[in-house]
Structure 1
Amino acid sequence: MSPVTLTDAAAPPVLADKNQPTADLSVSQFLLEQLKAWKVERIYGVIGDANLSLLDELGKQNAIRYVACRHESAAALMASAEAKLTGRTAVCLATSGPGVTNMLNGLADAAMDRAPVLALSGQVETAKIGTRTKQYVDQQKLNAAIAGKSELVTHADALPELMEQALVRGLLQGQVTHLSIPKDLYSVKVKGEIKPYSAHLHQPLAAPDNEIAELAALLASAERPVLYIGRGVKQTAEDVLRLAEKLSAAVITTLPARPLFPNDHECYAGGLGQAGSEASSVLLSESDLIVMLGATWWPDDYVPTQARIVQVDWNREAIGLGHPLYKGVVGDLGQIVPKLAAAEHLSAKDRGAWRTRVREVCTGWKRQIEAEARADGTPIPPQRVMKTIADHVSDQAIVAVDTGDHTLWFNRIFQAKAGQDILISGRWRTLGFALPAAIAAKLCYPDRQVIAVAGDGGVVQTLMEFQTAAGLRLPIVLVVLNNGAYAMEQDRMNVAGMNLIGSALRPPDFAAIAEACGGSGYRASSAAEFEQSLRQALTGSKPALLDVRTAAAPVPHTKI
């Protein structure tokens, strides 16, 4: 190419004759290669007419495992659970029309809990987009309320940039992203190169030293501090413990963060909200400084208005959202909390009276729940079920908890250990979360014990995924609390004097369904039977379901 002078206005751009680099891959191949470069290990999905070509390519390689699910919602819930558990991008797949529509519930779970999930869906042929052809729907409109970014791939050469945008945005902002791919594009060659994951995407966000110093000064001046921690402190849990002890602070956790602080510590006050503890509400009402570390859950009925609230989070958009704010600090908790814990002047103030008060309240609370957990009878009190699970699962167990009455009992009674993980449908609170989440957890960590806890009303939403677990030979344990009702709703209706229509259930034979699906089924109507069955199930080599006849005991503070 001849040299171009700056005065030659008619000259073309200097790279005009340079061919765009190409990996010589089809859309299907490029998509999989790009996911491999980002260390994606699994795609959860359901087969359909508009994704057959992609499945064909998936079957020709071994780097990415395809997990064939029974329902698209469950596939998306599995991806959501994987993203929550690992912090990495997870992927789910559906076909056009009803396939992508079914997937929405699981994607909403990921979106509400800021889990980076990439949804891929087939679409009708490009020539039929916008027509009355079968299974056509405007998928971008359909996903608009859920996905942070949803795009239709209209040309093969647009795929590299669209995938890069989706992967980066999902991982950095904790968003659901979505790509629709017309089925006639899968075989078309792509111009463009695979973009590897870059380490700069996870460089720590450093808070200014003066902000940390101001926060330390606030802590040092507090007479009755409370630390409220969420799953954002996972990488710095030991420093949180040091900080709490230095401040003589009461510690409250969100449900997923329970394993991140010793549940038997004298300063641990349990959870927050109806599913939490009375102790947390008492101590919050007496506190003069509440420090939120990596937590966003803020139930108005259970939190105070008198205390100064300080919030520390990497996500600036979450700070001050839905509650008063005295001071916000944006930054990586792994950088900020160790600096706070190392500050010597935090323990200079005499907080002996507060330490005594915290110990008194927390000790009283623990006595109360221990007494509840010893309750016996037939059907089994739900408190006893949760205590038995806590006593028998391993110190490294992953516990997936469904949505319902049992969720409240779990958070009230279950005493978590440091090596455990708890998975929930946090803000979306969909029924049917636990079983798909347990499947994803076992695939991610095959050497860890995985148990799912669900109610009889919720488990039926995704129960056929038990067959998925059996086909994959995953020895997970599913505990179903069977009280014959949508208990949370029924209790609220009772309190309000409402007609109970729609709240009663006639559950199927869950143990028989488990056996029919290729797993093990157990039934228990007493605490002794449940303990024996749980022991057997936890040592089995295939998925097991425990149908536990449970008393319908209203959770404290139930209201409409």
Structure 2
Amino acid sequence: MSPKNHVYQSIARATHEHGVDTMFGLMGDANLFIVDSFVRECHGRFVPAAHEGSSVLMALAYACVSGRVGVATVTHGPALTNCMTALIEAVRGHVPLVILAGDTPTDTPRHLQSIDQREVVKATGAGFEQIRTPQTACKDVARAFYRARVERRPVVLNMPADFMWQEVKHENQVLDVFTAPGGVAEGDILDNAVGMIASARRPLILAGGGAVAARAQLIRLADRLEAPLATTLKAKGLFNDHPYNIDIFGTLSTPAAYDLIAQSDCIICFGTALNDFTTDRGKLMSGKRIVQIDVDPTAIGGGLHPDAALVADAGLTAETIVFWLDKAEIPASGFTRELDTAALTAHPAGTGKAADGFVNYVDALERLEQALPKDRVLVTDGGRFMTEVWCRLSTPDPQSFVSSVNFGAIGLGLQEAVGAGLAVPDRPVILFSGDGGFMMGGINEFNTAVRLGLDLIVIIANDSAYGAEHIQFLDRKMDPSLTQFHWPSFADIAESLGGEGFEVRSQELLEEALEALKNRKGPFLIELRLDPVDVPRMRI
């Protein structure tokens, strides 16, 4: 018979039994004993954040880079409401997380921090699981992990504080589930799809985040069709080094790639929901046959209605299409024979000009692309400056790229960079953030990165303004001064928080910073001072 233990110990042990060795969070009344047991009895690692929402974002990036379920823990009431933006970011990014959230005691309905936590969670789109009784705690933990994997979203496990010191018998309740559902496409719709592809003269293959695991099969299909390959932003880097990779598809394409996409007559889309940025609000799909393949039925038909839709596994479907093309002896399209891929992936160069006291942003990015470590994990915040980063900074593969763009928020990047750094501690993490985003959510967790000794390089694009709003005032010939800020020196802030910082106001100073970067000993911040009226416009 299993010995008795307390509920808090059982929750910690059950979490550990699901293969969890790292937990992010912030302790409070309802979860502190769980954290203590996870560290002292289960020998897990607890990463304390400065803000509850940060812990969820750290777990999010940890999950994206490691491929595991991310875990965070917070206490009740305001701690949970502090997580709402982060939860929505994870929901819309389809990231499996388990959030161990304390709740106020069930016998204290007028508790100061009491709130209907189920309704808070429901508003974000995350899943909600309740620890029903002390005796069901292990089963409820298992259910939360099961749902996070299968539903591909965060699930909040609600834990009443008054359960924690009750004695229960621990039971191992790990559910062994099939977490990669899929199927082989078949039937008339498959026949129609193969017919559209076989008759295309200028086919193009587009892969999204849902097709990352199918890289080899998609390349085989592309080679069989002689079709170029492209990705959405979420799958950035998937087809690196393939001779007919035209990189990002949509509003982030190079001018030449955008024209090529417009000339194609059939787009075969794997694992992408085809949002407005990918399709340029439908312009790039006009007049073409669209074949959409996704294992998630809710991804199909949301942005536009395809000519053929297959709810099926991306890799198996690509293999099936190749089989029938070979069976019918369909010749290759020859589309790639006329391509100059070097021109298709070349973004417009910088001007080489900048006002005194500022650097040219595009020129700086091109130099950073050359100088920053190649084995990097690239993390980007939201905001005006990120589109050029997405286009000009490479990443080894999609799993080495985390972009906080799912909810259109800023101020989430530094927290995600911390989670990414802990997922792959032997690799450098590069974070790009704007000045507004860093002030909003970066400063409080930069010190967390220092405490953890992460190999983190932060690039701040500082135009002393909320740039997206600034440019709107300028476009309408209005005074933009309400969008402008006199920030303190971010380089000095980095130093005061225990890191290293360089303020860059010229190309020469950029070179000095890059030279110093070679001998970094921990988090290192480069502040690019930019002219707010001379920054490339957002491409989305």
1:84-163 aligned within 5 A: 84-129=64-109, 131=110, 133-163=111-141
Match of 1:235 among 213, 216, 239: 213
Q: CA deviation at 1:253?
A: 1.6
1:280-359 aligned within 5 A: 280-299=257-276, 300-301=280-281, 302-340=283-321, 344=326, 348-349=330-331, 351-352=333-334, 354-355=335-336, 359=339
Counterpart residue number, 1:515? 495
Q: CA deviation at 1:186?
A: 1.0
Q: Secondary structure at the match of 2:449?
A: helix
Unpaired runs of at least 5, structure 1: 1-20
1:49-448 aligned within 5 A: 49-129=29-109, 131=110, 133-191=111-169, 193-198=171-176, 200-208=177-185, 215-262=193-240, 265-273=243-251, 275-299=252-276, 300-301=280-281, 302-340=283-321, 344=326, 348-349=330-331, 351-352=333-334, 354-355=335-336, 359-360=339-340, 363-369=342-348, 371-372=349-350, 379-418=358-397, 421-448=400-427
Q: CA deviation at 1:215?
A: 4.0
Distance 2:337 2:476 in 1: 39
Q: CA deviation at 1:417?
A: 3.8
Give yes or no for contact 2:132–2:140 (8 Å, CA) kept in 1.
no
- The residue type equivalent to 2:436 in the other structure is G
- The residue type equivalent to 1:549 in the other structure is R
TM-score (norm 1): 0.87
- The residue type equivalent to 1:324 in the other structure is H
Match of 1:481 among 450, 453, 461: 461
Counterpart residue number, 1:7? none
Structure 1 residues 514 and 267: CA distance shift in structure 2, 3 A: closer
Distance 2:426 2:78 in 1: 36
Distance 1:350 1:474 in 2: 49
**Deviation string for 1:233-271 (max 9, x for gaps)?**
322323333332332323332223121112674441534
Q: CA deviation at 1:393?
A: 3.0
Distance 1:347 1:520 in 2: 62
Distance 2:17 2:190 in 1: 37
Counterpart residue number, 1:34? 14
Q: Secondary structure at the match of 2:362?
A: helix
- The residue type equivalent to 1:121 in the other structure is A
Give yes or no for contact 1:254–1:295 (8 Å, CA) kept in 2.
yes
Give yes or no for contact 1:89–1:116 (8 Å, CA) kept in 2.
yes
Q: Secondary structure at the match of 1:460?
A: helix
Q: CA deviation at 1:482?
A: 1.0
Q: CA deviation at 1:534?
A: 3.1
Distance 2:347 2:395 in 1: 17
Q: CA deviation at 1:127?
A: 0.8
TM-score (norm 2): 0.90
Give yes or no for contact 1:294–1:313 (8 Å, CA) kept in 2.
yes
- The residue type equivalent to 2:360 in the other structure is P
Give yes or no for contact 1:38–1:196 (8 Å, CA) kept in 2.
yes
- The residue type equivalent to 1:522 in the other structure is F
The answer to whether the aligner puts 1:25 opposite 2:2 as a matched pair is no
**Deviation string for 1:284-335 (max 9, x for gaps)?**
3322211111222421435332212111122122122221211122233233
Q: CA deviation at 1:280?
A: 4.2
Structure 1 residues 317 and 460: CA distance shift in structure 2, 3 A: same
RMSD value over aligned CA atoms? 2.7
Counterpart residue number, 1:449? 428
Counterpart residue number, 1:471? 451
Give yes or no for contact 1:249–1:267 (8 Å, CA) kept in 2.
no
**Deviation string for 1:68-115 (max 9, x for gaps)?**
111111111111112222332111111212111111111111011010
Q: CA deviation at 1:219?
A: 2.1
Q: Secondary structure at the match of 1:466?
A: helix
Give yes or no for contact 2:249–2:258 (8 Å, CA) kept in 1.
no
Give yes or no for contact 1:223–1:349 (8 Å, CA) kept in 2.
no
Q: Secondary structure at the match of 1:201?
A: coil
Distance 1:433 1:345 in 2: 50
Distance 2:233 2:519 in 1: 27
Unpaired runs of at least 5, structure 2: none
Q: CA deviation at 1:472?
A: 0.9
- The residue type equivalent to 1:314 in the other structure is V
- The residue type equivalent to 1:333 in the other structure is A
Structure 1 residues 140 and 413: CA distance shift in structure 2, 3 A: same
Structure 1 residues 396 and 231: CA distance shift in structure 2, 3 A: farther
- The residue type equivalent to 1:413 in the other structure is R
**Deviation string for 1:363-404 (max 9, x for gaps)?**
4454443x2386666522222232223222333210001101
Give yes or no for contact 1:400–1:438 (8 Å, CA) kept in 2.
yes
Distance 1:209 1:290 in 2: 19
